[in-house]
Structure 1
Amino acid sequence: MPLVIMCGYPSSGKSDRTVQLESFFQSSTDKKCLVIGESSAGIDKNDVYADSKKEKEARGKLKSAAQRLLSKDDVIILDSLNYIKGFRYELYCAVKSSQTPHCVIFCDTPVNLAETWNSGREEHDRYTKEIFDGLVMRFEAPISKNRWDSPLFSVGPDDDLPCQEIYDALFLRKAPPPNLSTVSQPLSATNFLYELDKRTQEAVTTLINAQKTSIPGDDISIPGAKDKVHLARSINNAELQRIRRQFITYTKLHPIEDISMLANMFVQYINNSIK
């Protein structure tokens, strides 16, 4: 589900905007909308925000709850302060990994107005003065030039929520490309991993044995490879195994159809690594 990250000072109107957006999706689109917030996660805000360890655990709960629901359909709204840019970056990485879009809605309410709204709440739902001031002091406002805060919708207290624009940002925009290291690439053949492991180990064994009778400058033939390893210097087993692990990691992310090329590719990789 695409992720909407609410952001703002305490009592800045985030939950009201969440209700507005949820109502729009339910009445004007065919998308489902799920809201994850502090109350649904069983978080007592005055207790949590008074203790850094509890606050970190609470953020972990919210993040985990959102991650479990991330997909390419429907909408998740994370209704919380989300006031730390590092946490918003973690959420951005999560949506990248899930290959689903996101956006940030910043309730840009002046501090004095947010404080007035907070004072008007029921006592059980009100931030204490100490907690309110501390959160305002630590607040890190979203910036549109940061990729994890973009697209960013800043909404003042008298502004209409741009629901259609938010919908377009979530469903008519491409998701951020995932980091290559987080993508599970399909293997090109059922025995690909077996052959990758077998042929690279065979090459390492051949090189270790060949060095017993060769000298630096010799070219070593490797079974299954057209190219030869140019032994510019001696290579011990530990270094060869390290090069082998690097090659295996890279090749898993870039599988090939013709596994007969693996040995030659590994030879080329070794030559480049020991230059």
Structure 2
Amino acid sequence: MALITISGYPCSGKSTRTALLKEDLERRIQDPSYSGPVRKVVVLSDDLLGIQRSAYDDSRSEKPARGILFTALQRALASDAFVIIDSLNYIKGFRYQMYCAARELKMRVCTVHVLTRPEQCRAWNAARVDGKAYLHETLENLFMRFEEPSSMVRWDSPLFTVVWDDPSLPLNDIWASLTEGSLKSPNAGTQAVPKAPTDALYTLEHTVTSIVSAVMSAQAESGGMGGSTLLVLPSASTLRVQILLPTRALALAELQRLKRQFVTVHKKAITLGTVEKGIVDWSEEAIANKFVSYLQENLRM
């Protein structure tokens, strides 16, 4: 139902705030007065997913680590869960990617940013005795590369900024954003591109070739009279399409040229997935009707 992204410098106190937020959300959904769909709170973090601090030492190991986190997020997103991502989340492009995954499922989102001074993070990192400290070079590099969340962009908002020495969280405001915030429908940027059937290319080529043959046969039978003509496709005797032919002799080369133009445009749509908005019909009948319309628009009458 909602995605909560926790962001902040390394060793800034993010996990402490995550634990506090998780406890509050679980208390609220277990309250007898709550009647919403959420039944669980899921936390995803580097530690829980087995991602070592050394993964951030270089980009070659960091990229697979983010892949592990994103894959776990996709599995966890559900209509009955609050999902909290407790990680660095310092790259705005990665935060946008997670936002898109949530929006595709029509889930609410919010970001909690733990604002901590670098010197405090260095001190907390140096004081760790659990073997989970960052190397000094890695820590400084992450400080430099950190892209702070902004309430001005849709994937970071609503944004709740918490100062490092404030032990509390705006829990009521966060709860309201997760349960009462506006739900945005997925748009073209967050939806999977519809795919054509596996036999669409064959159907396209076969159908337009049949129509060209049918036009040439009909013209020969009528003696080039033109006008409204019923075409019966050789490939399927039950499929008939009506076409308005010009009152002149059509050359096969002209029909073949228009056929190549039509096929080129629609082949690109099939192979690249760049199809028209809405439902696209790649059936033989639909292709036949579209090609006939294309011929009537481009043939010189």
- TM-score > 0.5 by shorter chain: yes
SS of the equivalent of 2:155 reads helix
1:90 is matched with which residue? 97
Distance 2:155 2:297 in 1: 36
- Code of the residue aligned with 2:50 in structure 1: it is G
Which residue, 49, 52, 56 being the options, matches 1:41?
Answer: 49
Does the C-alpha gap of structure 1 residues 48 and 260 become closer, same or farther in structure 2, counting only changes over 3 Å? closer
Determine whether 1:142 maps to 2:142: no
Which residue, 131, 140, 161 being the options, matches 1:154?
Answer: 161
2:125 is matched with which residue? 118
Determine whether 1:128 maps to 2:148: no
2:257 is matched with which residue? 235
Q: Which structure is higher in helix share?
A: 1
- Code of the residue aligned with 1:239 in structure 2: it is Q
Distance 2:277 2:74 in 1: 25
SS of the equivalent of 2:257 reads coil
SS of the equivalent of 1:3 reads strand
- Code of the residue aligned with 1:129 in structure 2: it is H
Does the C-alpha gap of structure 1 residues 184 and 244 become closer, same or farther in structure 2, counting only changes over 3 Å? closer
Listed one character per residue, the Cα deviations across residues 62-103 of structure 1 (whole Å, up to 9, x for unaligned) are 000010111222211111001111111211221122222222
1:202 is matched with which residue? 207
Distance 1:71 1:22 in 2: 16
Distance 1:36 1:229 in 2: 65
2:181 is matched with which residue? 173
1:118 Cα deviation after fit: 2.1
Listed one character per residue, the Cα deviations across residues 23-69 of structure 1 (whole Å, up to 9, x for unaligned) are 01111224410111111111111x21112111100000000001011
Does the C-alpha gap of structure 1 residues 201 and 253 become closer, same or farther in structure 2, counting only changes over 3 Å? farther
SS of the equivalent of 1:29 reads helix
Distance 2:176 2:107 in 1: 13
Which residue, 37, 53, 78 being the options, matches 1:71?
Answer: 78
Unaligned runs of 5+ in 1: 186-191
1:171 Cα deviation after fit: 2.5
2:29 is matched with which residue? 29
1:167 Cα deviation after fit: 2.2
- Code of the residue aligned with 1:59 in structure 2: it is R
Listed one character per residue, the Cα deviations across residues 101-121 of structure 1 (whole Å, up to 9, x for unaligned) are 222111111222222222232
Residues 190-269 of structure 1: pairs in structure 2 closer than 5 A: 202-203=207-208, 205-207=210-212, 210=215, 235-245=257-267, 250=275, 253-254=278-279, 264=289, 267-268=292-293
1:265 Cα deviation after fit: 5.4
- Code of the residue aligned with 2:146 in structure 1: it is F
Which residue, 30, 50, 56 being the options, matches 2:57?
Answer: 50
Distance 2:67 2:23 in 1: 27
Contact 1:207 1:220 in 2 (8 A): no
SS of the equivalent of 1:21 reads helix
User: With structure 2 as the length reference, what TM-score do the two structures score?
Assistant: 0.71
Distance 1:79 1:114 in 2: 16
Does the C-alpha gap of structure 1 residues 247 and 203 become closer, same or farther in structure 2, counting only changes over 3 Å? farther
Distance 1:270 1:66 in 2: 49
- Code of the residue aligned with 1:8 in structure 2: it is G
- Code of the residue aligned with 1:78 in structure 2: it is I
Higher Cα Rg: structure 1 or 2?
A: 2
Distance 1:112 1:6 in 2: 20
User: With structure 1 as the length reference, what TM-score do the two structures score?
Assistant: 0.76
Unaligned runs of 5+ in 2: 31-37, 221-225, 233-239
- Code of the residue aligned with 1:240 in structure 2: it is F
Q: What is the RMSD computed on CA atoms of the aligned residues?
A: 4.0
Distance 2:17 2:117 in 1: 16
